[in-house]
Amino acid sequence: MLAASSLNLTETQISKADKYINQVLKWNKTRNLVSRNLKKKDLAEHFLDCAVLEKHLRPGSVIDLGTGSGFPGICLGIIDPYRELTLVDSNRKKTSFLIHVKNELGLNSVSVKNARVEHINQVNEINIVCRAFKEPVDLLRSLENKISQKNKIILMVSEKETLSVPGFEIKYTESEASEILEKKRGFLEIQMS
């Protein structure tokens, strides 16, 4: 599926994506990284869903909040190995997995933090990404004193959402993955107003 996608992935990216997906499946047997029902095909779809996010980022660093098994952070690290990425999760089993994958795949620009979002004082990264972590309003409330106008927040969503939160400009964009996967996928692109 990855090879057949319209993302124009290199052989190296496809190989690293395949290794990553295999590691998720292997570690999932003991670490509960993702749903036990997910198969390799499902994880390849998750990878593609996350990979298209790269086109929507501003130049500069990225922080993936509540990254879990590394969707989208590890995917972005495979797509752009030179972009600084910080993956944050409070579950030590998941961050152990992320450190292992980072080292296995040679993702030198990726760093992993075992922390709760609530305990982060300031977000210094330009891009903030999130997939299936918190409800959008709850996430924005937890970030409002930790970000500035330089930040761009991108929340991955499966359905079109219209959201209005005072102090934020929010725009829904359909994801390119919708066409590839033939499923509804999109992003809430958010900035402070």
Dump pLDDT digits (tens) for 90-139: 999 999 999 999 999 999 999 999 999 889 999 999 999 999 788 888 89
Question: Among 52-56, 165-169, 179-183, which stretch is predicted with the lowest mean pLDDT?
Answer: 179-183
Q: What does the pLDDT look like over 59-95, one tens digit per residue?
A: 999 999 999 999 999 999 999 999 999 999 999 999 9
Tally of structural domains, the chain: 1
If you ran DSSP here, which 8-state letter would residue 70 be given? T
- What is the chain's alpha carbon radius of gyration, rounded to the nearest angstrom? 16
Residue 6 falls inside a structural domain: no
Residue 134 falls inside a structural domain: yes
Residue 2 falls inside a structural domain: no
What pLDDT was estimated at residue 182? 80
The CATH number that applies at residue 36 is 3.40.50.150
Measured from the Cβ of residue 80, the count of other Cβ atoms closer than 10 Å reads 16
For the chain, the straight-line distance linking the first and the last C-alpha, in angstroms and rounded, comes to 40
Residue 73 falls inside a structural domain: yes
Residue 113 falls inside a structural domain: yes
Residue 44 falls inside a structural domain: yes
Q: What does the pLDDT look like over 17-48, one tens digit per residue?
A: 999 999 999 999 888 899 888 899 999 999 99
Residue 167 falls inside a structural domain: yes
CB-CB contact of 180 with 45 (8 Å):
no
Residue 145 dihedral angles phi and psi, to the nearest 5°:
-100, 10
How buried is 158 (Cβ within 10 angstroms: 0-12 exposed, 13-18 middle, 19+ buried)?
middle
Q: In terms of residue numbers, what domain contains 53?
A: 11-192
pLDDT band at 164 (very low <50, low <70, confident <90, very high): confident
